Amino acid sequence: MSSGYLILENGKIFEGTLLGNNPDVMGEVVFNTSMTGYQEIITDPSYAGQILTFCYPTIGNYGINLFDNESNQPQLKGVVLGDVCEKPSHFLSKKSFAEQLEEAGIPGITGVDTRDLVKLIRKEGTIKGMITSSIPAKHALDQLWKKDNICWVSQVSTNEIITYHQTGPHVALIDYGSKKSIIEALLKENCKVTVVPYDFTFEQMKALNPDGILLSNGPGDPMMLNSHFFDIKKMVEQFPTLGICLGHQLIALAFGAKTEKLTYGHRGGNHPVKDLQSGKVSITSQNHGYVVVKDTIDQNIFEITFQNVNDGSVEGLKHLSHPIQTVQFHPEAHPGPSDTEYIFRNFILQLEKVGDMKYAIT
Q: Is 191 considered catalytic here?
A: no
Residue ranges of the chain assigned to CATH 3.50.30.20? 3-145
Choose, from 28, 40, 315, 332, the residue flagged as catalytic: 332
CA distance linking residue 243 with residue 216, whole number of Å: 6
Q: Is 266 considered catalytic here?
A: no
Contact 336, 282 (CB under 8 A): yes
**C-alpha gyration radius of the chain:** 21
Fold of 153-361: Rossmann fold (3.40.50)
Contact 296, 323 (CB under 8 A): no
Q: Block means of pLDDT (10 residues each) for the chain, length 362 residues?
A: 92 94 89 96 96 97 96 94 96 96 95 97 94 86 80 96 96 97 94 98 98 97 97 98 98 98 96 96 95 97 98 98 96 79 91 64 44
Choose, from 189, 245, 248, 271, the residue flagged as catalytic: 245
Instruction: Output the pLDDT for position 360.
Output: 46
Q: Is 237 considered catalytic here?
A: no
CATH code of the region 3-145 = 3.50.30.20
Instruction: Output the pLDDT for position 3.
Output: 93
Instruction: Output the pLDDT for position 361.
Output: 43
Choose, from 170, 271, 288, 330, the residue flagged as catalytic: 330
The torsion angle over the Cα atoms of residues 309, 313, 318 and 319, rounded to 10 degrees, is 160
CA distance linking residue 108 with residue 227, whole number of Å: 35
Q: At what angle do helices 180-188 and 342-361 cross, to 10 degrees?
A: 60
Residue ranges of the chain assigned to CATH 3.40.50.880? 153-361
